[in-house]
Copies of this chain bind each other. A is one copy, B any other.
Amino acid sequence: MSSILVVGSVAFDSVKTPFGQADEILGGAATYFSVAASYFSPVRVVAVVGSDFGDQYVDVFRKHKIDTEGLARTAGKTFRWKGEYGYDLNEARTLDTQLNVFETFDPVIPESYRSSEYVFLANIDPELQLGVLKQISNPRIVACDTMNFWIKGKIESVKQTIKHVDILIINDAETRMLANESNLIRAANKVLAMGPKTLIVKRGEYGVLMFSGKSIFGAPAFPLEDVFDPTGAGDSFAGGFIGALAQAGDVSERVFRRAIIYGSVMASFNVEQFSLNRLTDLKRDEIDQRFKQFKHLTHFEEY
């Protein structure tokens, strides 16, 4: 069980979906990632919060034995995001973003974190992502996320960063935008040529495609009757995926494929409730049970 380092946002979200709304609930990419990953391997978090980030929120991390030495507290307010979803839950409409203390976030990796073997760079400025990598010694796997905002605004920095990562985890629109190519398979091959050995394309309710070399692995999303709030699904996926990789301690295709399913399992639990309400309440055997359901969902025989 190797240690995982995640660098990204911790936030308070206000979310409205067709099924309800909640104000100022715990969120942020690093939060979803670290709680999801914590079911598989020890996690260390680097993020910044404001003076309004009460102990009850730090306790969420502590409950999952997540190392919070790198959770910096600064004068000012915690990052806030406000968004809503329509009945088509695939895309959020951002209503308001207040960066607050996140605006000047310049991640400093604590000495004790620098030998982390698995590193996840959540969606932040690609220059900061590159700055993190300079502080890490000899990681085994570096994975990263990014978004349309950086691909549009800082394409050269994005390209510079992904040259140095093993696994890029983005959605289908971002893949097409990054490659400037409408066919997803061609786009994926162009992205692989930019550096990452593996590209994971998240497709929301349609599941995931993983591209590595000439191999492609496809997994559907878990079919749910109640998708309550999709916020954090992508980061929960990444947490389950990297967590399962770190727990296996092996980088074979067999292990990568199983990790994709564990990521999909964690994302499916996350969307069942607001905030981390479901993710913080899981038992390991519920996770393994849903993994088996994924096997049933996708299995067919040749003869």
10 residue pairs, one from A and one from B, having the closest CB atoms: A218-B220, A206-B206, A257-B300, A87-B182, A185-B225, A185-B223, A186-B225, A218-B297, A216-B223, A298-B298
- Once bound together, how far apart are the Cα atoms of A72 and B295, in whole Å? 47
Does A77 make an interface contact (CB < 8 A)? no
Using a CB–CB cutoff of 8 Å, the interface residues on chain A facing chain B are 18, 87-88, 182-186, 189, 203, 205-207, 209, 215-220, 223-227, 254, 257-258, 260-261, 291-292, 295-302
Q: Main SS of the interface on chain A?
A: mixed
Please tell me how many copies of the chain the complex holds. Answer: 2
- Pair A216/B297 contact, Cβ less than 8 Å: yes
User: Given A216-B223, A302-B291 in contact, is the A206-B209 Cβ separation under 8 Å?
Assistant: no
Residues in chain B near residue A224, CB distance under 8 A: 183, 185
- Pair A223/B209 contact, Cβ less than 8 Å: yes
Residues in chain B near residue A260, CB distance under 8 A: 300
- Pair B220/A207 contact, Cβ less than 8 Å: yes
Closest to A224 in B: B185
Residues in chain B near residue A219, CB distance under 8 A: 220, 298, 300
Q: Tell me the smallest distance from the CB of A24 to a CB of chain B, in Å.
A: 27
- Pair B300/A258 contact, Cβ less than 8 Å: yes
Can you show 21 pairs from A to B with CB atoms below 8 A apart? A87-B182, A183-B225, A183-B227, A185-B225, A186-B225, A189-B225, A206-B206, A207-B218, A215-B296, A217-B298, A218-B220, A218-B297, A219-B220, A219-B298, A254-B301, A257-B301, A258-B300, A258-B302, A295-B300, A295-B302, A298-B298
